[in-house]
Structure 1
Amino acid sequence: MLRARIITALVLLSLLLPALFAQSPLPFEVFTLALMAAAGWEWGRLNGQGQRGALVLGVVLALSCALTIWKIDTVPAPVWWAIAVMWILGGAAALRLGPRGWPRVPQQLRLVLGALMLWAAWLALTQAWARGLNFLLSVFCLVWMADIAAYACGKALGRRKLAPTISPGKSWEGAIGGFLGVLLLAVLWSQWLDRHLGVDSASLFQTLLQGQAWPLALLSLMLLGAMSVVGDLFESLVKRAVGAKDSSRLLPGHGGVLDRIDALLPVFPLAMALSSLS
């Protein structure tokens, strides 16, 4: 299993890194588009579609994303705020339903919501790349730090379960540790990386901490960390509703694409919305 995880990670990195550093946005758009199409296929399978129906969903999603980026250069801030509010309210409603309540949502509505969720995340990814590599990587690292710090603190201190019916391993102590990890990363990134390295753009952290009042910046970071947990829990809820351990086996040793990007889905649109305040 470990060998498979390492090989898969190396293959993905060999594709991602050239796309990240390319002068043209096309390689990054194509790479992430392929991931979103695969995630769309997984979403279809998790929500009652057979192989053919799930494949159609993935293809339609990919074509919709490609058409959007062809027709739209920049996305207005109100669009990001609308998507962020939908994630906050919709995520809370889904978690309240729980694994037993999720299948009661009409199937067509679930499919449409999943497609919109993936479309919005892909659009936010491409817009973040356009802002600069430093900005894009800072959003990725925020999500990874929230996950790593939450796991470490939850393992060491976790007592009170955060969502026992959805993800029994998560705890409130872990969630608090995740936020503290994000806060530490934000300070280090904005005070050292942004100032002392020749970065191509302001990071998300610098944008928030220097472009907003401190209370609002801290609230923004807390919200971003919280939504990374919501994205993770939401995908776990959908899998638990159908008794699936992974979203698929597309990535040997890692599960499926949704398993790897679940926490990113709400965070990128929200990051674009919050950065518009600065």
Structure 2
Amino acid sequence: MLKQRIVTAIVLLAVLLGALLASSPWPLVLLLTLAAACLLWEWLRLSWPGAGGRAGVALGVLLAVVLCLVARQWLGGTPAAWAQALLQVSNRWLVPLVSAAWVLGATAMVLRGDVTARGGSACLSVFGLLAVVAVWSALVQMFLAHGAWFLVSLLALIWCADIAAYFAGRAWGRRKLAPRVSPGKTWEGAIAGVVVATAWVMASAWWPGSFGAALLQRMPWWAAVLAAAALAALSIVGDLFESLLKRRAGLKDSSALLPGHGGVYDRIDALLPVAPIALLLTGASIL
């Protein structure tokens, strides 16, 4: 199992690195589109049992087709009027509303920790669709506006929070963070994750083109510290929210698409709340 996890991780990192370093933005955009389609299917498996079958696959494929059409407009020079309108709707309404839903709604659900609910939830399914589109839009725009290093430095915020929380939790964890949702997570681990991730953002701000540098261009250092800490905390909320959905659905993983790692959602759960808010904080729109 460990060997399988390592091999899968190496392959995923190689694919991501190749897409980020490609001379054209299309490889990364197509990779993000494929991930979005898989993510929607997996989310429906968790939020609406039974919808992860043919209907879920069909919706995922339809979403991928639509996102490819939108990307073709965004990447092809001057977008058509309808593509510009979609971009405005995304940045002015979709991304802010989804961000608010993560901060208020998802956080409240995690704190409440109701894992006994069963059956389908239309609200959670619709939220899943909106969240997937929002994270795709945010990542594509940030990549087009700021480049690969910006995205890598943002992803590193999540990786730092996750790794630090894991090791600090194992070493010093005593108080459970959300025992009904994820018994292994502790307050000590979460605090360490937020501190290390915030330190990374401020340290990486010395490198031009990083997410931290973009934050400091738009706000004073103390506000950037608070923003980085908030994003690190939200990355933990994203992880816990998926754990909540899995417990409600009675599933261990979102799917088995990635051998040894579960599903796509299992790998990027922390990114879903972080990317849209990062877009808002840095103003990385391609409008």
Matches for 1:1-278 after TM superposition, within 5 Å: 1-46=1-46, 47-48=48-49, 49-69=51-71, 70=73, 71-72=83-84, 78-79=92-93, 80-100=95-115, 102-103=117-118, 107-130=121-144, 131-191=146-206, 194=207, 202-276=209-283
Deviation of residue 31 (structure 1)?
1.1
Task: Map Cα deviations across residues 44-102 of structure 1 (whole Å, 9 max, x no partner).
Answer: 22221141122122123223323443324965754443332222112123224534365
- AA in 2 matched with 1:165: R
Task: Map Cα deviations across residues 158-188 of structure 1 (whole Å, 9 max, x no partner).
Answer: 1111100000111111111011101221232
Equivalent in the alignment of 2:80: none
- AA in 2 matched with 1:142: L
Contact 2:161-2:232 at 8 Å conserved across structures: yes
In structure 1, distance between residues paired with 2:219 and 2:241: 30
Q: Percent identity?
A: 45
Deviation of residue 28 (structure 1)?
0.7
Contact 1:99-1:240 at 8 Å conserved across structures: no
- AA in 2 matched with 1:123: S
In structure 1, distance between residues paired with 2:137 and 2:222: 29
| Secondary structure of 1:100 counterpart | coil
| Secondary structure of 1:23 counterpart | coil
Task: Map Cα deviations across residues 22-43 of structure 1 (whole Å, 9 max, x no partner).
Answer: 2221111111111111111111
Contact 1:190-1:205 at 8 Å conserved across structures: yes
| Secondary structure of 2:183 counterpart | strand
How many corresponding residue pairs? 268
Task: Map Cα deviations across residues 200-252 of structure 1 (whole Å, 9 max, x no partner).
Answer: x5211112234312221111011101110110000000001122111111111
TM-aligned CA distance change 1:166 to 1:190, over 3 Å: same
Alignment root-mean-square deviation, CA = 2.1
**TM-score by structure 2 length?**
0.86
TM-aligned CA distance change 1:96 to 1:102, over 3 Å: farther
**TM-score by structure 1 length?**
0.89
Contact 2:2-2:260 at 8 Å conserved across structures: yes
In structure 2, distance between residues paired with 1:116 and 1:101: 25
In structure 2, distance between residues paired with 1:142 and 1:232: 14
In structure 1, distance between residues paired with 2:16 and 2:92: 30
Contact 1:102-1:238 at 8 Å conserved across structures: no
Q: Which moved more, 1:153-162 or 1:93-102?
A: 93-102
Contact 2:115-2:181 at 8 Å conserved across structures: no
Contact 2:181-2:240 at 8 Å conserved across structures: yes
